[in-house]
């Protein structure tokens, strides 16, 4: 079962797992995306409607999977659905920050709760799509980073809680990946900035512009979502799945930097990299 399989990493995971012979329940939010997926794959892929912020849809998706499995357990759950809310924390609307947590954190817990019984039957595996932003917080990406830090902590707790039943929990930590999330988050950021008072533009306008330029540069170095799908497949099939998979060029260095660099050095280097140094 994969959430957020309409585009990007989730879509690539669904197609890769299909190729490997898995029967895939692919979470989508509308019928059109489900039809596209069915056309692009074998009949082993079953689109399932699920918005992770809608408890009724989560329950209904779990029920559909339970009945399709006819008494068998579920082998894997890939918690992939996610959005990005960005902007200066001083001015972001609380409702936008709540939405970030609803989708990236609470939704993941809700889905996991609904499917754990089925996973237990198969000694299945959970694969949580985190991010390098789950270990390295950057300015103007506060809500997203906080949601992924939270997801990392929840995954660690979950891994120990579910150990008695042999359910493994792996985290995937990609760096930049070329998916539609970049355009979606840029649009969301533009809408957030428009909703802010004029003071926000005066105080943060140049910094926001510098961050936009950095995002454009970073996107050019983004890796293929296939690389992430490969790590997910590994977490689902390896004899001994790793607890964390760092994915993408340069991402391991960033993870080590996050872990070992002293705070002020880390701040300085991140801000320099983002064109914010000296502001």
Ligand X SMILES: NC(=O)c1ccc[n+]([C@@H]2O[C@H](COP(=O)([O-])OP(=O)(O)OC[C@H]3O[C@@H](n4cnc5c(N)ncnc54)[C@H](OP(=O)(O)O)[C@@H]3O)[C@@H](O)[C@H]2O)c1
Annotated catalytic sites, by residue? 144
CB of 33 to ligand X, least distance (A): 6
In terms of CB distance, is 172 or 208 closer to ligand X? 172
In terms of CB distance, is 80 or 86 closer to ligand X? 80
H-only helix segments in 175-240: 181-194, 198-220, 225-237
Q: Which of 2, 4, 16, 150 binds ligand X (CB under 6 A)?
A: 4
Q: Please give the biggest Cα pair distance in the chain.
A: 62
Helix (H, G, I), strand (E, B) or coil at 147: helix
Asked if 103 interacts with ligand X (CB under 6 A), we say yes
CA angle at 145 for the pair 238 and 187, rounded to the nearest 5°: 105
Asked if 3 interacts with ligand X (CB under 6 A), we say yes
Contact 45, 24 (CB under 8 A): yes
* Contact range with ligand X by CB under 6 A, out of 38-46, 66-74, 135-143, 179-187: 179-187
**67-98 burial string, b = 16+ CB within 10 Å, else e?**
eebeeeebbbbbbbbbbbbbbbeebbeeebbe
C-alpha–C-alpha distance, residues 170 and 15, integer Å:
20
Q: Which of 29, 66, 125, 244 binds ligand X (CB under 6 A)?
A: 29
What are the tokens at 48? 């399932």
Asked if 184 interacts with ligand X (CB under 6 A), we say yes
Site for ligand X in 48-77 (CB under 6 A): 50-53
In terms of CB distance, is 24 or 103 closer to ligand X? 103
Taking residues 136 to 175 in sequence order and writing x for each that binds ligand X by CB under 6 A, - otherwise, the string is --------------------------------------x-
CA atoms within 13 A on the CB side of 75: 10
Asked if 176 interacts with ligand X (CB under 6 A), we say yes
In terms of CB distance, is 200 or 233 closer to ligand X? 233
Q: Which of 177, 193, 200, 211 binds ligand X (CB under 6 A)?
A: 177
CB of 243 to ligand X, least distance (A): 17
Taking residues 220 to 249 in sequence order and writing x for each that binds ligand X by CB under 6 A, - otherwise, the string is --x---------------------------
Torsion angle, CA of 184/276/270/178, rounded to 10 degrees? Answer: 20
C-alpha–C-alpha distance, residues 48 and 83, integer Å:
19
C-alpha–C-alpha distance, residues 25 and 14, integer Å:
8
C-alpha–C-alpha distance, residues 144 and 2, integer Å:
20
Asked if 181 interacts with ligand X (CB under 6 A), we say yes
- The residues pairing with 127 across neighbouring beta strands, listed in sequence order, are 78, 170
In terms of CB distance, is 121 or 184 closer to ligand X? 184
In terms of CB distance, is 128 or 168 closer to ligand X? 128
Edge-first strand order for the sheet with 76-79 is 76-79, 125-129, 168-174, 244-247
C-alpha–C-alpha distance, residues 172 and 139, integer Å:
22
CB of 253 to ligand X, least distance (A): 16
Query: Which residues make up the interface to ligand X (CB under 6 A)?
Result: 3-10, 29, 50-53, 80-83, 103, 107, 129, 131, 174, 176-177, 179-181, 184, 222
């Amino acid at each position: 079962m994969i959430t957020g399989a309409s585009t990007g990493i989730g879509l690539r995971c669904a197609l890769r797992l299909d190729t490997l012979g898995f029967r895939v329940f692919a979470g989508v939010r509308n019928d059109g995306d489900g039809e596209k997926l069915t056309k692009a794959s074998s009949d082993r892929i079953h689109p399932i409607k699920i918005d992770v912020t809608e408890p009724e849809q989560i329950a209904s998706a779990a029920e559909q999977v339970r009945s399709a499995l006819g008494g068998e357990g579920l082998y894997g759950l890939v918690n992939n659905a996610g959005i990005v809310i960005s902007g200066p924390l001083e001015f972001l609307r609380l409702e936008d920050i709540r939405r970030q947590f609803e989708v990236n954190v609470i939704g993941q817990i809700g889905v996991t709760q609904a499917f754990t019984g089925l996973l237990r039957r198969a000694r299945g595996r959970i694969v949580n799509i985190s991010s390098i932003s789950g270990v390295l917080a950057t300015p103007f990406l506060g809500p997203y980073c906080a949601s992924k830090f939270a997801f990392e902590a929840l995954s660690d707790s979950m891994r120990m809680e579910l150990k008695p039943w042999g359910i493994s929990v792996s985290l995937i930590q990609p760096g930049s990946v070329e998916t539609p999330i970049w355009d979606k988050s840029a649009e969301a950021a533009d809408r957030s900035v428009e909703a802010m008072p004029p003071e926000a533009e005066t105080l943060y306008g140049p910094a926001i512009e510098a961050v936009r330029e950095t995002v454009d540069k970073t996107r050019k170095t983004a890796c293929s979502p296939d690389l992430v799908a490969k790590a997910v497949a590994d977490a689902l099939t390896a004899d001994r799945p790793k607890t964390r998979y760092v994915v993408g060029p340069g991402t391991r260095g960033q993870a080590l930097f996050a872990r070992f660099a002293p705070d002020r050095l880390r701040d300085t280097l991140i801000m320099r990299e983002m064109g914010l140094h000296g502001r």
